[in-house]
A and B are shown apart, each in its own frame.
Chain A
């Protein structure tokens, strides 16, 4: 579905990604975990065309999308929910959702998309005329996800959706993601909360210093003592 091959990115002379490759299969949740500054967000932003890539290739359902302008990548169906939500604060909830339609491009969207988003996150229907900037963090995250769904994504990219949210809200957001996945949505999830990410995903990769160092089934990675030691914050018997 989404294939990233040998991706390298340089930021002002620093190599943020060094030949990272991964493959997200149709209909799965794929988690990318790793420490701060390992290159997780860079990988997403390179895929979205926000950051120029130095080397490598990105394919969406066999179609090479790397090298396209960011808005065209979004319109081809690779839609990112950015870190920190980034809702358009001075616009209303409804207007933010309408903006999301833009990414549906030639695939088109209709009223059913809005109904689906409203049934997934009823709070967005309730608050439709409120300014997005006045929502709570959790509601903003729901709006950011709903906005991306309005563009009918083929693959949804999520950058740290749990960041800064209360545990109960995180649960709610992740339950929604699982529900979307069950309905057939392919998701690439970037998370610092490794335990949560590995619980949610089918397959996963660990990224360190711009390189993919582990890759495999999420449950296998969760039981890997090295991964557990590094990312679950608990001491394991050596």
Chain B
């Protein structure tokens, strides 16, 4: 029973990690607290869902369309809400306000579109296959989700740390000013960062929509709140931190619901954050981002 719940926690937690990864990426590179990340997640789920209900596409295509949808909304958000502020050299706080506004618009649009209904993926979107493994019941869907998350994280790390584009992204994260002097086009870099971030959120949206069998316009908001916990717990701007903290939060939440009460889940999640910050104010993996911030000036 405990192992079963742990497994469920890992599955949910890895999707939280995926969501938080995009959030922390934008924070790390553009220093923006993107309050619209939850709505991007929701629009990614919508894109996947509509592709399935309208065009009857299979699961892998739905995930892909969720990624494209999330990435597209995220890039549009950057162009409309953040780029004008960057051009004026506005303080970082103004982008938070701008993202809250954008998030409200995206929420209302989704509410209008769906008439506030809760929608579902068709039951046959993913074949229900389960394996028994030492008394542990593992669903194929769970394995596929974990595989997708691992693939995405490895892919992102490879992109950031092993490619020329990734090097440029890390340079812009430290100083856009210096990057320009080196011939790096910050517009192209921001496009990539926002697209990747949105695509990760969109994939997470489709996966969560299928796992919890519900897609609705408010689905991203509780996740955004948890993403805050995840990235603060993991250390702002830290990629491994976001992932591990995501898993941790997923496990705590699942175990609380299973053994205590569903109402206590958020209380325990935030208590964990409180306790960790008492001991490590920069979060579990906060050291590296602190160095990045110092070099930035």
Contacts and interface: CB of A to CB of B under 8 A. Distances in A.
Contacts of B167: 91, 95, 98-99
Interface in A74-124: 74-75, 79-80, 82, 86, 88-91, 95, 98-100, 102-105
Given A95-B167, A99-B167, A102-B168, A89 B174 contact: yes
A99 B178 CA distance: 11
Interface string B167-192: 11011001101111111111000000
A86 B177 CA distance: 9
B168 A90 contact: no
B184 A102 contact: yes
B27 to A, nearest CB: 15
Interface in B273-297: 288, 291-292, 294-295
Contact of B184 (A71, A82, A89): A71
A99 B175 contact: no
B175 A50 contact: no
B168 A99 contact: yes
B161 to A, nearest CB: 9
A74 B177 contact: no
A89 to B, nearest CB: 3
Nearest to B166: A95
A211 interface: no
B295 A74 contact: no
A74 B179 CA distance: 10
B28 to A, nearest CB: 11
B287 to A, nearest CB: 11
A91 B181 contact: no
B112 interface: no
Contact of A102 (B174, B183, B288, B295): B183
B164 A151 contact: no
A50 B170 contact: no
Nearest to A151: B183
Nearest to A44: B181
A155 B171 CA distance: 23
Contacts of B164: 98, 102
B182 A90 contact: no
A74 B181 contact: yes
Contacts of B177: 50, 82, 86
Contacts of B171: 88, 91, 99
Contacts of A69: 180, 185
A27 interface: no
B295 A99 contact: no
Given A91-B167, A98-B167, A133-B295, A74 B183 contact: yes
A80 B184 CA distance: 13
A90 B178 contact: no
Contacts of B170: 88, 90-91, 95
Given A89-B295, A90-B170, A90-B292, A71 B183 contact: yes
A105 B185 CA distance: 11
Contacts of A24: none
A49 B179 CA distance: 13
9 contacts: A48-B180, A50-B180, A71-B179, A74-B180, A74-B181, A75-B183, A79-B183, A86-B177, A91-B171
Given A79-B182, A90-B295, 18 more contacts: A48-B181, A50-B181, A69-B185, A71-B180, A71-B183, A71-B185, A79-B181, A80-B181, A82-B177, A82-B181, A86-B177, A88-B178, A89-B292, A90-B174, A90-B288, A99-B171, A100-B182, A151-B182
Interface of A: 48-50, 69-71, 74-75, 79-80, 82, 86, 88-91, 95, 98-100, 102-105, 133, 147, 151
Interface of B: 164, 167-168, 170-171, 174-175, 177-186, 288, 291-292, 294-295
List 5 A-B pairs, minimum CB-CB distance, nearest first.
A103-B183, A89-B295, A74-B183, A70-B180, A102-B183
